[in-house]
């Protein structure tokens, strides 16, 4: 049930032509007016929203830049750079703040040192246990007789280990 395409023909009668044109023109004009009125309202509303958003953004930006400037000034004072404008109370407050920070730093450093010492002690105990196990393993393992030594002396050779090896550096034949 589709509509068939209507062929538009030229209307010869002038009065009939004007009536037909006005019938076709009126719905377009009404929809155009409605669209433009909606468009004006939306644009004014969007402009209002954008202005309000810009105001909020500028307020936030101003607050953040003020906070950054304040924190930068505080950091400079902590470094000891801008102390000329401070009165006695502010200097005492700054001193307390610095002492608190220094105490936290030394406490953290001490904790890390104690942890390091404890881990090294545990590692030393583990190495001593491993050394003891290796000694027991050496005493219990059968030893192969070395060249020209009886098997009894070869077993105790590792205990009294002394070396007479010497190393000489230089040319093999003097000229």
Please report the pLDDT score of residue 145 as a whole number: 44
Domain end call among 85, 105, 127: 85
45 and 63 part of one domain: yes
Given this model, what pLDDT does residue 22 score?
A: 67
- What does the pLDDT read at residue 117? 95
- 46's tokens: 């969007």
Same domain, 45 and 81: yes
**Are residues 105 and 75 part of one domain?**
no
Given a contact cutoff of 8 angstroms between Cβ atoms, the answer to whether 83 and 77 are in contact is yes
Q: Is residue 156 domain-resident?
A: no
pLDDT of residue 169: 67
Q: If we measure between CA atoms, which residue out of 89, 90, 63, 68 comes closest to residue 78?
A: 90
Q: What averages of pLDDT result for each successive group of 10 residues across the chain (175 residues)?
A: 73 73 71 72 60 77 91 86 84 90 94 95 95 92 55 51 64 63
């Amino acid at each position: 049930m589709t509509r068939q395409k209507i062929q538009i023909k030229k209307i010869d009668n002038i009065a009939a032509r004007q009536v037909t044109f006005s019938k076709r023109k009126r719905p377009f004009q009404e929809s155009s007016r409605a669209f433009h009125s909606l468009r004006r309202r939306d644009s004014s509303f969007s402009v209002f929203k954008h202005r309000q958003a810009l105001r909020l953004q500028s307020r936030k930006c101003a607050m953040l830049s003020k906070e950054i400037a304040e924190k930068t000034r505080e950091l400079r004072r902590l470094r000891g750079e801008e102390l000329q404008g401070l009165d006695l109370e502010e200097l005492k407050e700054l001193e307390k703040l610095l002492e608190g920070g220094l105490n936290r730093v030394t406490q953290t450093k001490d904790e890390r040192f104690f942890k390091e010492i404890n881990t090294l002690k545990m590692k030393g105990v583990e190495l001593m246990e491993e050394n003891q196990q290796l000694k027991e393993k050496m005493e219990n393992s059968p030893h192969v007789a070395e060249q020209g030594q009886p098997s009894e002396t070869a077993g105790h050779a590792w205990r009294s280990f002394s070396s007479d090896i010497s190393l000489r550096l230089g040319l093999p034949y003097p000229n």
